[in-house]
Amino acid sequence: MENSAASKKLDQLFERVEALTRIQRILICVGVFTLLVALFGVLSYWPSWQRIGKLNADYQKLSADLEKSKKNARKLVALRKEFESKRREFNLVMKSLPETEEISSLLTGISESGQESGLDFLLFKPGADVNKNFYAEIPVSIRVTGGYHNFVRFADRVARLSRVVNIRNISMAANKGGTLTTTCEAVTYKFIEAAAPKPAAKKKKKR
C-alpha cells in the first residue's frame, strides 16, 4: 500500500507539473539548477573560506605584533642614543679626574694658585681618601688669610685647573686690618681601578 500511495503522489506531482505553463516549468528548472549550483559552490568553497578567515585573523595578529615591534625598535634606538650620550659624558668626566701619579702635582697647583692670588697659607693639609664606588675624593683642609677679592681670584684659578677641584665648606672671619681668615676644603677626585680578580688556588692532589 505504501508503494501505491507513493506512486499516486508522484502521479499527482507530474500532473501538476504538466498543468504548469512552459515558462513556469523553465523557471522551476532554472531555480533548481541555481540552487544546485549554489549548494555545490558552498560545499566546494566553504573550507577555503574558513582558511581565508583564519589567514585574515593571523594577518591581523601579525600586523599588531609588527607594529609593537616597530615601537620597541624606536624605543631601542632612543635608548641607544641616550646610552651613547651618557657614555660620552662619563668619558669626559673621567678625563677630568687626575691619575694617581698626578695628585701630588695637582695639590702643588692648588697651593700655587693661592700664593699667586695673594693669599697666605696658615693650613694646607690633605686628608684621607674617601671612596665613592668607582672614584675617591681627596679632601684638602685649607686656611688662608688675605682680602676677599684675593680669595675670589684663588677660587677662580682653582676652577680653571685642568683637573676637577671643588671648593666647599667656606667660612670667613674678619681680622684686624681689613683682611679675612678663610677656612675651606678643596676636594679633588681620582679614579679607582677595579682590582684584578685573584687566580683560584689550585688544589693539591692527594697521592
pLDDT at site 73: 81
* Measured distance CA(77)–CA(83) in Å, rounded: 10
Check whether residue 58 and residue 104 sit in a common domain.
Answer: no
Q: Of 193, 97, 183, 174, whose CA–CA distance to 143 is shortest?
A: 183
Same domain membership, residue 74 and residue 5: yes
Residue keyed to cell 615601537: 71
- Mean pLDDT along residues 1-22: 64
The per-residue pLDDT for range 154-177, each reduced to its tens digit, is 989 888 877 778 888 999 999 887
| Domain assignment present for 91 | yes
- Least trusted range by pLDDT, from 76-80, 99-103, 190-194, 195-199: 195-199
* 132 & 149 share domain: yes
1 in the same domain as 88: yes
pLDDT in tens, 78-135: 888 887 777 776 666 555 555 555 567 778 888 888 888 898 989 988 888 888 777 7
Residue 150 covered by a domain? yes
Q: What domain range includes position 170? A: 100-191
Q: Number of folded domains in the chain? A: 2
Q: Which residues contact 126 (CB under 8 A, 6 or more apart)?
A: 107, 138, 139, 140, 141
pLDDT for res 143 = 92
Domain termination residue (choose one: 49, 68, 96): 96
| Whether residues 11 and 62 fall in one domain | yes
Q: Do the domain assignments include residue 207?
A: no
pLDDT digits 0-9 by tens, 14-68:
666 666 677 776 777 777 778 777 777 666 666 766 777 777 888 888 888 888 8
Q: Is residue 126 part of a domain?
A: yes
pLDDT of residue 138: 84
Q: Is residue 200 part of a domain?
A: no
Give residue 96's pLDDT. Answer: 55
Residue 181 inside a domain? The answer is: yes
Q: Do 163 and 110 contact (CB within 8 A), yes or no?
A: no
Residues 82 and 141 in one domain: no
pLDDT score recorded for residue 145: 92
pLDDT band of 182, cuts 50, 70, 90: very high
Q: Please report whether residue 176 resides in a domain.
A: yes
| Beta-carbon count within 10 A of 155 CB | 20
pLDDT at 201: 55
Q: Is the per-residue pLDDT at 197 higher than 70?
A: no
